[in-house]
Amino acid sequence: MNLETVILGFLNMEPMSGYDLSKRIDSSVGFFWHATHPQIYGTLKKMIADGYVTFDHEIQESGPARKVYTITGEGKQFLLEQLPTIEPHLVKFPLLVTMFLGSELGLEFWRKALVDQIEEQEEMLQVYYTILKEIPKVGSSQDLGGYLRKRTLDFGIDYQKFFIKWLKHTLKEIKQ
């Protein structure tokens, strides 16, 4: 899975601009995939050349014309080829690596670091709760898409809870 596939997946829901893609990716799968705007604009350019997307200018009263991208037949075909091959996940987790390597930083450092982390992660959890309230309830049990999307949000929330619990447990044991 690469950014091309992710972008095609979103354009497969509805046509949108590079700016929209950036916001949408961030606020939905942001926890599972991160992409910056230069990366998105660059990839869209490449995908035009590949014939996976087309675009139309959407003139606005103010500011530059939005480029609204639409997935093509070829794009859709590519998407459906790519999606089923689920690759293993990649992680860079500096906190845990630092824990493994950084006992020299001392007890006081770790106490404070853990307190800070707990605070940060609890803020993140609140953000997810807010999103949860905003999404529509999954209606019919026939709606696989709605169910799967809600389940990814559940993952974010439950993971966050798990992580906070682990952090608090570690802090408690370090304190005594």
| 101, 94 contact by CB (below 8 A) | no
Among 61, 87, 123, 134, binds a second copy (CB under 8 A): 87
Confirm or reject binding of residue 85 to DNA (CB under 7 A): no
Among 20, 26, 117, 138, binds DNA (CB under 7 A): 20
Closest CA to 146 of 157, 135, 155, 156: 135
Confirm or reject binding of residue 37 to DNA (CB under 7 A): yes
Count CA atoms closer than 13 A to 75's CA, side-chain side: 26
Among 23, 149, 150, 161, binds DNA (CB under 7 A): 23
The piece of 24-32, 40-48, 73-81, 120-128 that touches DNA (CB under 7 A) is 40-48
Smallest separation (angstroms) from a second copy to the CB of 46: 19
**Rounded to an integer, what is the distance from CA 160 to the centroid of its chain?**
14
Confirm or reject binding of residue 132 to a second copy (CB under 8 A): no
Confirm or reject binding of residue 81 to DNA (CB under 7 A): no
Q: Please, which residues have CB within 8 angstroms of residue 1's CB and are 6 or more apart in sequence?
A: 82, 85, 86, 87
66 binds, among a second copy, DNA, none (CB under 5 to 8 A by kind): DNA
Which residues pair with residue 55 across a beta bridge? Answer: 69
| 152, 29 contact by CB (below 8 A) | yes
Q: Applying CB under 7 A, which residues contact DNA?
A: 2-3, 17-20, 23, 34-39, 41-42, 44-45, 60-67, 90, 92
